[in-house]
Amino acid sequence: MEHQQPHFYTASHRRNPGRSSWLAEFRHPLKLDNAGKPGRKMRKGLGTEDEDVAKRLVEELNQLLSEERLWSLGAKPEALLRFSERVVELFYSEIEPRHRNARDLREKYLPLPARDSGYARALLLGVPGAGKTTLVRQLIGTHPKRERFPSTSVNRTTTFLTELITRPGEFTAIVTFLSEHETRFEIEESVSSALLAAIEGTREQAATAFLEQSDMRFRLKYVLGDIAANDEDDPYKTADEEPLFDDEAVTVSESEGATLRQRLNSFLDRIFAIASQHRADIEAVHGELNEMRLDDKNAALDLIQMAAEDSDDYVSLVSDVLDELRGKFEAVTTGKYDRSTAAWPLAWHITCPETDRSDFLKAVRFFSGISIGSWGQLLTPLVNGIRVAGPFRPSSEWNSEDVKLVLMDTEGLSHKANVNTDLPEHMVSLFDECDSIVLVDSAKNSLTHFAAGKALEAVVSSGHTRKLMLAFTHMDAVTGENLRGKARLDHVFGGVRNVVENQVAKTVSIELARYLLEHLTRNTFYLGQMDRADPQPAYRELQRFVEGIENSAPEPYVPVAFPTYGTDKLVLAVQEGARDFRQPWRAWLGIEPLADLRPYPWQSLKAMSRRYAEGWDDGYHLQPSSNLLAALQRAISRFLETPLSWNGAPTADQKREVIERIKALVAKQLPDLSRELLREKPQPEWQSAYALRGGGSTLARKIRIESIYEKSVPIPHAGSDRNTQDFLDRIKEVVLDAIKTVELEVHASRTKSVAVVT
């Protein structure tokens, strides 16, 4: 890597106007700027209001920046011996791998009950609006109006993992946050989107892009407020939509709202000023945007965005927004924060007596709420996980006994239009630690949303079919003259049959599809009026549902036989998996057309390449590694469903148990392998793809991404090279090791049985 002159890497301290804390400003030698050269501009909090302390920290940072031999993760231990922790964090946090440790932090403060403690763990999956979180409310007995926890809405609401433990005693919560680096990244995405909107769009369009990312995951409006006063007349508004300000964790007064809007307008003024300046600079060289062809215009927009993002004004704006968010944490006066050495909150935790339920939930709503009356004070977008425990229990009207549940409420599946719908790796990784996997869908849809079918497919392909449960909500909305009693249930289950017989049977196996249908006839639940405090018609089905979760712990696995497979067929399975990944992506890149798949916009591909270039996984809707995981799981599952023979004489149920066991062992290894193949090993190539700018960069980036896929996931064929053989060997090792593990388990079980008889 070609380095800049030493003086280029010099830090200075500064304080933003109106702020008390000091910042360090410097260029990072190991981070690429928008031109693809080392030296990205950084402005990071020093965690102090004392100027003398700030000066000392910056002096240390300058010493670190002056010694090139310290510019690697391997040198971090030496740096810790020589410099303060704050300085080491400032520098090395930018280059450390992005593996999330939030669950480890939550586990430290509030461990999940042990698997053998009698608690049943249920993972809930579902598309946005399916009623997943509303169902959780019924299971923990929180009132839909007075308490409203967890939060629900018609849009995507749950954007992080929420874990709930029903146990007697005091209430406890642990909330973990995006790091300062992650938060700045999200702010940069929001500001850059607003800049593009401001170049040719209206102020309203720029405000929308700034305050709410298009996938509805990171919403700055919850933290900063909205640009409008939200007092417009709505002829379709009902009494149920009236916000209950008196019971919210925090409400924003009219004067506070006016102050928030003034601050937001100042941010927008700066966004438009930056956009105007850099548009003028590019047009002075390349001509008017409005007169360009589409490809030239896209290239010009890319150049404008690149120049803007590398400007001092852009860095200052992002820093000011970050400071604004940092200040919001201080509004929470209950509980306690754990902070990084630079004073950024890592976690918040609180414990309250059982009698303080109302105060407890009010405190937690700072981090989970979405009510419009609280916009401007909520911290919800900065949260990456919540774990709550306490004496929650379903309504005594339909449940007479205490329940011991761990409920894991996940982010809604595939909200973004025109994107692939494979489950993210982190969701698939949760399958193994759960006793039941509940796919929640609205009875009005009955698995017609493609993402719901993909979720079902992922569960069975990963060897967890027996854990699967279906919960259909909104049964009260399924109406018609011929839809009464059992006919209503049959109508809804017809959607299940359609997915199983026309999707699972084709992508995995007919035999598994038959088993799955039989399993789901006993493990599908029909629920209505879940949004009501007292859903009387659903009492019996809710009881059956809770009993199903409580009894979902699998029976002890006793292996009695093992299958024999042909390795030649495994090669064909890997070939199919690689092809099933590569072909759709050639269509999404616009390289080779494929029916029903449209190419992704250039902005989306650029945003994806940036995330992979930086080793980032923030749940962005383009996730090649998740697509690879799903494709490999499907292909390997098809292979494992058809052994050549069996050693022993197992029954059909015993065969199913063994095949599911092998699949589950494979599924534990594939997420890490997919990340390694597409995220970690080719990271330098992703950096090159992201760094492309100017005329022709859109096509060049697509070709560069396709070359990454070709190198990382080659399709095996007769003339394959060493790289392809290495890829094939990696997959074969995972699968054959799983098969061998089961064979050894069978031998051990037989030996034990013989010993007992003797």
- 694 pLDDT above the threshold of 80: no
Mean pLDDT in residue range 442-458: 89
CATH 3.30.420.40 fits 104-109+119-168+391-550, yes or no: no
**pLDDT score, position 417:** 47
CA Rg value for the chain: 27
Side chain identity at residue 552, one-letter code: S
- Condensed to tens digits (0 to 9), the pLDDT of residues 410-441 reads 988 865 544 567 888 889 999 999 999 999 99
296 — pLDDT class (breaks 50, 70, 90): confident
- 633 pLDDT above the threshold of 90: yes
Highest mean pLDDT among 243-257, 318-332, 545-559: 318-332
248, 374 Cβ separation under 8 angstroms: yes
Mean pLDDT in residue range 376-388: 93
* Cα separation of the two ends of the chain: 69
Question: Using CA atoms, how far apart are residues 375 and 216, in angstroms rounded to an integer?
Answer: 15
Mean pLDDT in residue range 205-232: 82
**pLDDT score, position 242:** 45
Which distant-in-sequence residues (6+ apart) come within 8 Å of 489 by Cβ? 526
Mean pLDDT in residue range 283-306: 88
Beta pairing partners, 174: 349, 387
Mean pLDDT in residue range 216-229: 84
Highest mean pLDDT among 407-416, 522-531, 556-565: 522-531
Helices 254-286 and 312-328: crossing angle in degrees, nearest 10, is 160
**pLDDT score, position 629:** 96
548, 469 Cβ separation under 8 angstroms: yes
**pLDDT score, position 348:** 97
* 483 vs 200, residue with greater confidence: 200
Which distant-in-sequence residues (6+ apart) come within 8 Å of 214 by Cβ? 193, 416
Mean pLDDT in residue range 34-61: 87
CA atoms within 13 A on the CB side of 644: 7
Domains of the chain: which residue ranges? 6-92, 104-109+119-168+391-550, 181-330, 562-757
273: enclosing H helix or E strand: helix 254-286
**pLDDT score, position 758:** 47
Strand 345-352 and strand 336-339: the pairing is antiparallel
**pLDDT score, position 7:** 54
**pLDDT score, position 224:** 94
Q: Please name the residue that has the structure tokens 């306490």.
A: 390
- Condensed to tens digits (0 to 9), the pLDDT of residues 156-190 reads 556 789 999 999 999 999 999 998 888 988 999 89
- Condensed to tens digits (0 to 9), the pLDDT of residues 236-286 reads 455 554 444 444 446 788 888 899 999 999 999 999 999 999 999 999 999
CB count within 10 Å of CB 591 equals: 15
496 — pLDDT class (breaks 50, 70, 90): very high
- 567 pLDDT above the threshold of 70: yes
Strand 405-409 and strand 645-647: the pairing is unpaired
Mark 611-646 as b/e (b = at least 16 C-beta within 10 Å): bbbbbebeebbbbbbbbbbbbbbbbbbbbbbebeee
Question: Using CA atoms, how far apart are residues 610 and 616, in angstroms rounded to an integer?
Answer: 8
**pLDDT score, position 452:** 87
Highest mean pLDDT among 30-34, 213-217, 218-222: 218-222
61, 24 Cβ separation under 8 angstroms: yes
Which distant-in-sequence residues (6+ apart) come within 8 Å of 274 by Cβ? 195, 308, 311, 313, 314, 317
Q: Across all residues in the chain, what is the average pLDDT? A: 88
Nearest to residue 673, comparing CAs of 577, 565, 572, 571? 577
- 691 pLDDT above the threshold of 90: no
371 — pLDDT class (breaks 50, 70, 90): confident
383, 176 Cβ separation under 8 angstroms: yes
Question: Using CA atoms, how far apart are residues 12 and 54, in angstroms rounded to an integer?
Answer: 9
Mean pLDDT in residue range 378-399: 91
Altogether, the residues listed in the chain come to a count of 758
Strand 345-352 and strand 524-526: the pairing is unpaired
**pLDDT score, position 112:** 95
Question: Using CA atoms, how far apart are residues 409 and 394, in angstroms rounded to an integer?
Answer: 16
728, 544 Cβ separation under 8 angstroms: no
- Condensed to tens digits (0 to 9), the pLDDT of residues 597-609 reads 899 988 889 889 9
Which distant-in-sequence residues (6+ apart) come within 8 Å of 348 by Cβ? 173, 174, 175, 177, 332, 335, 336, 337, 338, 367
Backbone angles phi, psi at 698, to 5 degrees: -60, -50
Of all residues in the chain, what percent carry a pLDDT higher than 70?
92
- 8 pLDDT above the threshold of 80: no
Sign of CA dihedral 144, 148, 153, 157: negative
373 — pLDDT class (breaks 50, 70, 90): confident
97 — pLDDT class (breaks 50, 70, 90): low
